[in-house]
Structure 1
Amino acid sequence: MPRSSRRPPQLRGRVFRGSRAVARGLLTRNELRSSAWRPLFRDVYADAQLPVTHRTRCEAVARWLVPPGAAIAGRSAAALYGCWRAGADDAVDVLVPRGVRVGSVAGLRVHRGPVDAGDVVDRVGTVVTSPERTCWDVASWLDLVEAVVVIDAMLSRRLTEVSALRGYALDRAGRRGWRAMLRAVGLADAGAESPQESRTRVRLVLAGLPRPRTQWVVSDRGRFVARVDLAWPDYRVAVEYDGLWHDEPAQFDSDRRRLNKLVGGDWIVLHLTARRLREDFDGFVAEVRAALRARGHRARPAGPGRAPAMVRPSDVG
């Protein structure tokens, strides 16, 4: 027989514990398994008509599935700050203090570590790691490029500052992760306006190219000409990342007109698409390097056994 789809008004539009709904007589266990309710985690359900987002899942985790002292962390925390685009079904990152037990739950990524005073905050009723701790965690848990993507967004939204992040790391010098934090912060830039721009910039720098300026405004005798995603003004070389918005004909036309003015002003403008970023970034790096070399840039040779110079935290304003 098909399962009943009875929807008590007390549960409509809500996320709830299944066991409590059954104990209160609102649903039977058979009704709980009907299509009227969507399981989010073990014993946590949502009205199937409720749009479920990553934030919804984070709120459910913080309310019902983690012990006191734990917090939403990492990319999930960044998503709650508006600095990461997470899918509704993505696993939720949770930070749990050492020595605190938490059971294994499908859909959670549990990380354990020391939690200092001030590392967790209440954000609209949900316990989440502070912006500084969030940046520390992504620097420790993600690869360098993806960590910088998150940190760029945190800086861009003015949730924290480079000096605060650097101080947070230096205050914990010697603790596992402090060098990773400094390295990521040293590559971060509040001027980034999208994750793909961040990925492009960081990968160019890691490939040994000089650090570009973000959102550089080109003017002619005080008049605005154009703003470019990345630029090396001394060499009049720019990079533009062509995102999905270029599918809009009017915007694409406006953008190309703007960039044509740069070419007329003796700029070299190189365009990077998502496909090239994904499949042929080495080829794009070669093109940027050639453009810079043509304009007079000379890379400093690395000494024996030395990698290209890293960006120092002090290089970031």
Structure 2
Amino acid sequence: MADDAFIGDPADEDEAFVLDTSRPFSRADAAKAKIKPSTLRGPRFVRLFSGVYVSVDAPLTPLQRVRAALVPFRGNGFASHASAARVYEVPIPTLPDEHVTVTAAAHRRTHPGIVCHVMRKPRAVVFDGIGVSSPDQLFTEFASQVSLVDLVVAGDHLARRHRGVTAATLADFAAAGGLPASRAAATAAGYVRENVRSPMETRLRMLLVLAGLPEPRINALVGTGDGMLKRERDLERREEADDDGWRILTVVAKGIYRRPDLTLEKIHRVLLERGEPGVPKHVSDAWRPHFPVVR
């Protein structure tokens, strides 16, 4: 009978088990697939975490490590904090551990390299096939791991890339409390803006705002006298921009990561010379903890 093919003892089921070794798997899954412990320790596989392996031929991407961190929890956890940021491809600083959140202490596991959190009523979603904190929840979680500027970088990215995520939704989740860094997240949400195209744009904006200078407009559209919009490559033509009364200031990575003081000095001087409204005579020092000067 055809139905007999679905009836058998556990040994028959183990024999039929097919393991995709290109994705992280547990030692128990390896045993079920008849892979010997000595083979796991050999050159064919890489150990990602204690008891978690993958084929040596599989690419070791950040997403692969997140998947590996979830294996020990057997469906009872989801990626959170920095791991959720990696799933969403948020630009973040180097953070070594993976983070998994479970909804009950009984599901908690201890593994080197994996930080486990417990949250009774999380807001989790499925993204790219992975259980993960919602973007709003991630923002507040992430506030416990990174600085103000890095958190605003993350918020700008989420607001640009994920429908329904705004500075207001991020602030609302933070205001509801329930997570350790809610207050820091609420503060950072006030600086989040939409349509920011790169982390460097965020960092330059934060440098200026923390120094007390007027906040620059995000990707402002520049028009000609007849109402037509100039293309970005037209704005790169310095002569034409000068004719329209624009002043082009170039800021490179060094001006943010090593000499933010010189960047501020240059921009502040130009704003004062042009008589721009709202420009203080002296800049605030509030930027200094977030943008160290490296001489």
Identify the TM-score tier after normalising by the shorter chain. Answer: 0.7 to 0.9
> Separation in 1 of the partners of 2:104 and 2:267?
47
Q: Which residue of 2 aligns with 1:262?
A: 241
Rg larger in 1 or in 2? 2
What is the one-letter code of the residue matched to 2:167?
V
Q: Which residue of 2 aligns with 1:14?
A: 23
Q: Give the CA RMSD over aligned residues.
A: 3.1
The 5 Å alignment of 1:173-192 reads 176-192=180-196
Cα 1:190–1:81 shift into 2, 3 Å: same
> Separation in 2 of the partners of 1:290 and 1:86?
32
- The reply to whether residue 274 of structure 1 matches residue 253 of structure 2 is yes
Q: Which residue of 1 aligns with 2:50?
A: 42
- 5+ residue gaps, structure 1, are 1-8, 228-253, 309-317
1:69-122 CA distance string (max 9 Å, x none): 5321123212212333688x9532223457456343232234x364435x1122
Aligned residues: 266
TM superposition outliers: structure 1 runs of 4+ over 6 Å: none
- The reply to whether residue 198 of structure 1 matches residue 202 of structure 2 is yes
Contact 1:201/1:212 (8 A) holds in 2:
yes
The 5 Å alignment of 1:94-133 reads 94-97=100-103, 99-100=105-106, 102-110=108-116, 112=117, 114-117=119-122, 119-133=123-137
Q: Which residue of 2 aligns with 1:223?
A: 228
Cα displacement (A) at 1:290? 0.8
Q: Which residue of 2 aligns with 1:251?
A: none
Instruction: Give TM-score, length-normalised by structure 2.
Output: 0.78
> Separation in 1 of the partners of 2:127 and 2:238?
42
- 5+ residue gaps, structure 2, are 1-17, 287-295
> Separation in 2 of the partners of 1:176 and 1:14?
33
Instruction: Give TM-score, length-normalised by structure 1.
Output: 0.73
> Separation in 1 of the partners of 2:234 and 2:82?
32
The 5 Å alignment of 1:130-145 reads 130-145=134-149
The 5 Å alignment of 1:202-213 reads 202-213=206-217
Mean CA deviation greater in 32-41 or 15-24 = 15-24
Q: Which residue of 1 aligns with 2:152?
A: 148
Cα 1:166–1:266 shift into 2, 3 Å: same
Structure ranking higher in strand proportion: 1
Contact 1:226/1:258 (8 A) holds in 2:
no
Identity of aligned residues (%): 25
SS at match of 1:191: coil
The 5 Å alignment of 1:15-30 reads 15-22=24-31, 24-25=33-34, 27-30=35-38
Contact 1:192/1:198 (8 A) holds in 2:
yes
Cα displacement (A) at 1:42? 0.8
Contact 1:136/1:181 (8 A) holds in 2:
yes
> Separation in 1 of the partners of 2:106 and 2:234?
54
